[in-house]
Amino acid sequence: MTETTTPQTGPQAGSFRIKLEPRLQEPPRWYPVAVSLGAIFIALILGGIVIAFAGGDPFLSYAHIARASFGNLGVISDTLVKATPILMTALACSIAFRMKLWNIGAEGQFIMGAFGASAVVLAPLLSAETPAWIFIPVMMVAGMLAGALWGFIPGYLKAKFNVNEIISTLMLNYISISWMNFWIFGVWSEGGFQMSPRFPRTAWLPRLLDYAETFPILRGLTTHAGLLIGIAAAFVLWLLIYRSRWGYEIRLIGDNPSAARYAGIDISRNTILVMMVSGALAGLGGMSEITGVVHRLQTSPVAAGYGFTGIIVAWLAKLHPGVIVVVSVLFGALILAGREIQPSGVPKMIQGIILVCLIASDFLLRYRIRIIRAGSEE
Amino acid sequence: MDFIIILQAGVATGTVLLFATIGEIFSERAGVLNLGVEGMMLIGAMSAFSTTIATGNPWLGLLVAMFAAGLISQVHAFITITLHADQVVSGLALTFLGTGISLVLGEGLSKAGTVSLLPNLSIPLLSQIPLLGPIFFARQSILVYIGYLMIPLAWYYINRTRPGLHLRAVGEYPSAADALGINVFRMRYFYVFVGGMLAGLAGATISLAVAPGWFSELTTAGQGWIAIGLVIFAQWDPVRAAVGSYAFGALRRLILDIQGPLTLLGFDNPFYYNPYWGFFLQMLPYAFTVIVLVIGSREAIRKRLGAPAALGNPYIRGERGL
Amino acid sequence: MATSNQTTLPPVVTMSGIVKRFPGVLANDHVDFDLMRGEIHALLGENGAGKSTLMNVLAGLYRPDAGVIQVNGKTVNLSSPRDAIKAGIGMVHQHFMLVPSQTVTENVLLGLDEPRFLMRLSEYDDKIAELGKQYGLDVDPRAKVWQLSVGEQQRVELLKMLYRGAQVLIMDEPTAVLAPQEIDDLFETLRSMTAQGKSIIFISHKLNEVAAIADRITVLRRGKVTANGLPAKGVTTQELARQMVGREVVFRVEKKPAKPGEVVLDVRDVYAENDKGLPALRGLSLNVRAGEIVGVAGVAGNGQRELSQVICGLRNATQGEVALTGELVSNRPTLYGIQRGMAYVPEDRTHVGSSPNLSVTDNVIMKKYRKPPISHGGLLDMNEAGRFAKELKEAYDIIVPSVDTPVRLLSGGNLQRVILAREISGEPAFMVAVQPTRGLDVGAIEGVHRLLLVQREAGSGVLLISEELEELFSLSDRLYVIYEGRIMGEIQLGMEEPSDEIVEKIGLMMTGTPLDKIEKEAAA
């Protein structure tokens, strides 16, 4: 049926009908961006309504977010500090989501990464006098291994027993929090406080303020080398997904597992590997947070929900590593500013509303909406 | 440590999971996977508690909770049924949304103190049955009894009634149901709503009966996710869901109580003398959920039965308008 | 509108000026159609001619963009299947609309207002059994649908409509899934129903069947009516074919005599289970030589799918083995066969053969991305991949704006060309093609047939699994007939149209009579 149609006029009628049609052509490149921005705009309006309903002033809240996150060099630096862990968890989610593996466990893998890195200092695997150039790489490896292990478990269960990875990764989140608490409270507690002792300086990632003597403008800026690690990870991930054999396999499995099987790709093996890489990336995020910001193992700054924000960021960036870098900064701003906003649940709620609006807006990318006059044929 | 008391409390705790699990069974039987149970439960718990504080009437709180959670479930229904979005992602978003909204609207509730709760009662003759009586029928919240009624009713509704027949058809083969004039879209919206209401009821059961109060996200502490795991373990059957729910309820209760006494079965209680070991106990429900999932998934593979055939797929009919 | 069984009553159904448009396609272009009481009216047309669309409009599933439908002389608005059923119109779809996990009775009662709430199934079981007896539709009301044979399931569909008091029954390609003998049973049932006053619309693209069963015939071509209500008596199949395709049908494809070489594929006594764990292949053996096309004929669901999957390593054999050029490939990873020259054109183009959201380039490198020049170390040379894709696009006439276009936007014929281009460009020693022309238009079918013959000429062995006998006759050098997972016999096909005697033999084999038994009886 390739025949073209000649327009015909039918009987006229007044009523309208909305018709949805799947898109037969790719929309222009700007279109998805415009749809996403539109969705965020609508989300902010909806969020404002709920804030107003809860007794807050939405305009004040949003203005506050903007000022508190991009107002001056100091807060921009703080925004980047918040963006760093989000960047890594979002990268972690993006590779798993690419294969339609719903790894909701970046939070737990992040925690395990922080734990693994801390263990190097606290166990201790390396003495406090170890130079930084040994300390930092060893902690990175330890964090990534711990995260990878936490990704391996659900990956293996999925590949072997077809266990739903959403639930298993979520359960492992809860388990990882208890696990970290056990070590903080029971083993590594500093004088009965709910935190470990502070790490030695050689186990800290370099920060901008470390160079303030040479460049005075950097005084007080806490942005740390984790950001660079994250950006490098984003680049490697882009190379992996779009330019490597393995990335091709991941994309193929993600789009159509039957076709991947048909092309001779081992899905079980890739399920486990991708979950491990995803876990390792989230674990790297945990390591970076603990060595760049917290400098000790402590529950609340580590289990702060970065893993969940990463899900939203990955989705908003359409799983593209480059876009993830940008979106992470925006969400870093939201979280930074959110600490001072009342009611305190606002950032979380806005994240939820943004995600809902984004998913809903996806629809506009897949369908065209046509309004049809009943009776007419065009 | 009195095991009867633990089991009795476990039944009450399990009622939370029971409502949430049966709710999700209804939704999934209609073909809609709703991962937003945790968010809907939080909405339910929060709105039940705040309504009860405001009005002093826990029954009204219960109704508001069910309605509010049902309402928010319709966000998921709209996105997945009408807009054909991925049910997994949308369900996750619903959890974020429900959690966020309940945190914002629940601000300050945690300091609100206590409220009048739903009544506890004993069933005259049944509570006299040795062993079972005190566990199931003595001084339980009225919600627990509602739970008992719900198990056979839900089973009977799904398997032996006309609407149940239609429900199963919509989840197994929506185009067949559609061809016979069953409105697939309306049915799916309805059962997602039912699932939302029951999740709201589950949340209200926490904040008005089992662990009264509002403790932000800790109110549910992942029980919504455990419920989703139980649906798979239950193979979409309300009776098996009940078994799993009560077992998990008892486990949660046991973990809370086991750290109290000085001795355990005649030995020094290790959890009393090493309180940090309690963190391992806290892991248990989550670890057991994973184990239960493994069992459920293996059984599904072995018996080649499983989820409703159309679970997770949007229904798209021809080229009709919205 | 002279008809063979004209009555004074108005037509049961009149459809006039029906227009139905899908994005990019005009499926029905001002179609007129009418149905008399007690007649069997065939709706004839090729795949994609708009037959099913027209009937989906009548069944209330699609809303027409223009046109009027009258039932018993009254204009009706059929905006849902429920409306259609109320108007006495029931449709038996090509893919049965039955819930497999429910019983026959449950399926029949589905969607009815009665019983109101509680269901006592046993009361209805008897009612339904009785209705079945009245129309010669024998089926156990208590059986679960997944346990029934395809023929029985079709009867359940008919029962469903009759129970609702349908006066008009639409049968969409009802014979596609049936064996010849089952088709005879069905025709008998249909005749007994028209004798009891029902009217039947019979959708088909098979000329012989239409000639055998219909009272009147309407032919659709590309969404337009080319013959409206012709009396079936006195119409030749050649005439109908012309109306259907717009030119004389060429039943034969040009091909040179086969030059069979070594055995490339050897399937030896293979057993395998289907997805439900039931036996699907029971000791099946066959072989394919280089330079020949070997057909596998059979009614759908007799193990064809499983056979192709076992050969390609997508399903394990429980017993027996498959060898490709002498090397064992069964129960080994799919990749093992691919690396040894196995090509596979799967039945399901969109769900197995391609990856819809990936580009044409990504799709054509599916079996080449592991080796240079596309892969270097672990990295892919996407420029090289794009060049390769453009090469195939030219060589195989793939019509697509750019090789970066996702393949979900391609038409069926173009998508099949992408898949064939990919498989053939690997210069395979052997290729299995399953239903390679299903759902394609005539031009595309010819293209596919030509490509398969090119493969044969190039000295590769081809196993063609198809449900279209015409296709098998025109392409195959040899033919196996499969029934319930066994080979019933093997037939050598010459260059000419097979004789009636051979066709009859194949028909008998397709319904479960082994060839040696047929020949023994013929000899006796």
**Structural domain span for residue B133:** 3-303
Residue C318 maps to a domain: yes
d(CA C353, CA C72): 47
Residue B316 maps to a domain: no
What pTM did the predictor assign?
A: 0.85
pLDDT of the residue at C4: 45
Q: What is the mean pLDDT of residues B267-285?
A: 83
Range with lowest mean pLDDT among A7-16, A88-97, C417-426:
A7-16
| Residues B52 and B58: beta-carbon distance below 8 Å | yes
- Contact: A377, C222; criterion CB under 8 Å: no
d(CA C102, CA C197): 31
pLDDT of the residue at B74: 97
Same-domain check for residues C200 and C135: yes
Residue B63 maps to a domain: yes
Closest Cα partner for C43 from C51, C34, C35? C51
- Contact: C277, B176; criterion CB under 8 Å: no
Strands (E), chain A: 16-22, 367-373
Q: What is the mean pLDDT of residues C287-304?
A: 91
Find which of A319, A353, A359, A369 to mutate to test the B interface (most B CBs within 10 Å of its CB).
A359
Closest Cα partner for C322 from C249, B90, C331, C314? C331
pLDDT of the residue at A126: 85
Q: In this complex, is the C-beta atom of B163 within 8 Å of any C-beta atom belonging to chain C?
A: yes
- Predicted confidence band at A17 (pLDDT cuts at 50, 70, 90)? low
d(CA C217, CA A127): 92
**Chain C, window 16-45: residues with a beta carbon less than 8 angstroms from a chain B beta carbon:** 22-23
pLDDT of the residue at B3: 79
Q: What is the CATH number of the domain that holds C41?
A: 3.40.50.300
Kindly report, residue by residue over A249-308, the tens digit of the pLDDT: 999 999 999 999 999 999 999 999 999 999 999 999 999 999 999 999 998 888 888 998
- Contact: A175, B287; criterion CB under 8 Å: yes
Domain end point (choices C426, C459, C488) = C426
pLDDT of the residue at A252: 96
Instruction: Say whether C375 sits in a helix, a strand or coil.
Output: strand
pLDDT of the residue at A348: 80
Domain end point (choices C426, C456, C491) = C426
Number of domains in chain B: 1
Find which of A42, A158, A167 to mutate to test the B interface (most B CBs within 10 Å of its CB).
A167
- Contact: C379, A243; criterion CB under 8 Å: yes
Residue C348 maps to a domain: no
**Structural domain span for residue C448:** 256-341+430-524
**Chain B, window 104-123: residues with a beta carbon less than 8 angstroms from a chain A beta carbon:** 104-108
Find which of C65, C68, C342 to mutate to test the A interface (most A CBs within 10 Å of its CB).
C65
Q: What is the CATH number of the domain that holds B22?
A: 1.10.3470
Which residue in the set C22, C100, C111 is minimally distant from B180, CB to CB?
C111
Query: Chains with 3 or more CB pairs closer than 8 angstroms to C?
Result: A, B
- Contact: C23, A24; criterion CB under 8 Å: yes
- Shortest Cα distance, chain B CAs vs residue C61, angstroms: 7
Residue type present at position B6: I
Radius of gyration of chain C (CA): 25
Find which of B235, B279, B299 to mutate to test the A interface (most A CBs within 10 Å of its CB).
B279
Same-domain check for residues C360 and C417: yes
Kindly report, residue by residue over B34-79, the tens digit of the pLDDT: 999 999 999 999 999 999 999 989 999 999 999 999 999 999 999 9
Same-domain check for residues C33 and C121: yes
**Chain B, window 285-304: residues with a beta carbon less than 8 angstroms from a chain A beta carbon:** 286-287, 289-290, 293-294, 297-298, 300-301
Residue C357 maps to a domain: yes
Kindly report, residue by residue over C9-58, the tens digit of the pLDDT: 788 999 999 999 876 678 899 999 999 999 999 998 876 688 888 999 99
Which residue in the set C62, C112, C160 is minimally distant from B319, CB to CB?
C62
Measured between beta carbons, which residues in chain C are less than 8 angstroms from residue B29? none
pLDDT of the residue at C513: 83
Same-domain check for residues C414 and C436: no
* Contact residues of A toward C, CB < 8 A: 1-3, 5, 8, 10-11, 21-22, 24-26, 239, 242-248, 251-252, 255-256, 258-266, 372, 375, 377
Measured between beta carbons, which residues in chain B are less than 8 angstroms from residue A306? none
As to burial, measured by CB atoms within 10 angstroms (0-12 exposed, 13-18 middle, 19+ buried), residue A169 is buried
Of residues A340 and C347, more confidence is placed in C347
Residue B182 maps to a domain: yes
Same-domain check for residues C330 and C230: no
Task: List Cα–Cα distances, A317 to A66, A312, A329, in angstroms.
Answer: 21, 8, 12
Residue C30 maps to a domain: yes
d(CA B88, CA B232): 15
- Contact: A352, B107; criterion CB under 8 Å: no
| Residues C199 and C37: beta-carbon distance below 8 Å | yes
Same-domain check for residues C419 and C442: no
Q: Considering chain C, what percentage of its residues have pLDDT values greater than 90?
A: 47
pLDDT at residue A121 is higher than 50: yes
d(CA B305, CA A155): 23
Same-domain check for residues C324 and C460: yes
- Shortest Cα distance, chain A CAs vs residue C19, angstroms: 9
Same-domain check for residues C172 and C301: no
Kindly report, residue by residue over C310-329, the tens digit of the pLDDT: 999 999 999 999 999 999 99
Residue B94 maps to a domain: yes
Of residues A25 and B161, more confidence is placed in B161
Q: Considering chain A, what percentage of its residues have pLDDT values greater than 70?
A: 91
Q: Considering chain A, what percentage of its residues have pLDDT values greater than 90?
A: 52
| Residues C196 and C229: beta-carbon distance below 8 Å | no
Q: What is the mean pLDDT of residues C216-235?
A: 87
d(CA B95, CA A297): 28
d(CA C195, CA C410): 47
Query: Chains with 3 or more CB pairs closer than 8 angstroms to B?
Result: A, C
- Contact: A348, B98; criterion CB under 8 Å: no
Same-domain check for residues C30 and C125: yes
| Residues A147 and A279: beta-carbon distance below 8 Å | yes
Q: In this complex, is the C-beta atom of B78 within 8 Å of any C-beta atom belonging to chain A?
A: yes
Kindly report, residue by residue over A297-315, the tens digit of the pLDDT: 998 888 888 998 999 899 8
Of residues B265 and C338, more confidence is placed in C338
Is this complex's ipTM strictly greater than 0.90? no
Q: In this complex, is the C-beta atom of B101 within 8 Å of any C-beta atom belonging to chain A?
A: yes
Nearest residue in chain B measured CA to CA from A176: B283
Task: List Cα–Cα distances, B50 to A54, B109, C453, in angstroms.
Answer: 13, 7, 75
Q: In this complex, is the C-beta atom of B304 within 8 Å of any C-beta atom belonging to chain C?
A: yes
d(CA C362, CA C357): 10
Same-domain check for residues C394 and C520: no
Strands (E), chain B: 120-121, 140-141, 263-264, 267-268
Same-domain check for residues C508 and C448: yes
Nearest residue in chain A measured CA to CA from B108: A343
Domain end point (choices C180, C214, C245) = C245
pLDDT of the residue at A12: 39
- Shortest Cα distance, chain A CAs vs residue C353, angstroms: 6
As to burial, measured by CB atoms within 10 angstroms (0-12 exposed, 13-18 middle, 19+ buried), residue A12 is exposed
Residue B181 maps to a domain: yes
Is residue A289 left, alpha or beta, with left meaning phi > 0 and alpha meaning psi from -120 to 50?
alpha
Residue C3 maps to a domain: no
Q: In this complex, is the C-beta atom of B46 within 8 Å of any C-beta atom belonging to chain A?
A: no
Residue C6 maps to a domain: no
Residue B317 maps to a domain: no
Residue C260 maps to a domain: yes
Residue B311 maps to a domain: no
pLDDT at residue A87 is higher than 90: yes
Kindly report, residue by residue over C148-168, the tens digit of the pLDDT: 888 889 999 999 999 988 999
Same-domain check for residues C232 and C113: yes
- Contact: A243, C358; criterion CB under 8 Å: no
As to burial, measured by CB atoms within 10 angstroms (0-12 exposed, 13-18 middle, 19+ buried), residue C279 is middle
- Shortest Cα distance, chain A CAs vs residue C370, angstroms: 7
**DSSP for C256-325, written as a single string:** PPP---SEEEEEEEEEEE-TTSSEEEEEEEEEEETT-EEEEE--TTSSHHHHHHHHHTSS--SEEEEEET
Find which of A97, A175, A187, A315 to mutate to test the B interface (most B CBs within 10 Å of its CB).
A175
Which residues are registered as beta bridge partners of C273? C279
Number of domains in chain C: 3
Residue B83 maps to a domain: yes
Measured between beta carbons, which residues in chain A are less than 8 angstroms from residue B280? 178, 182
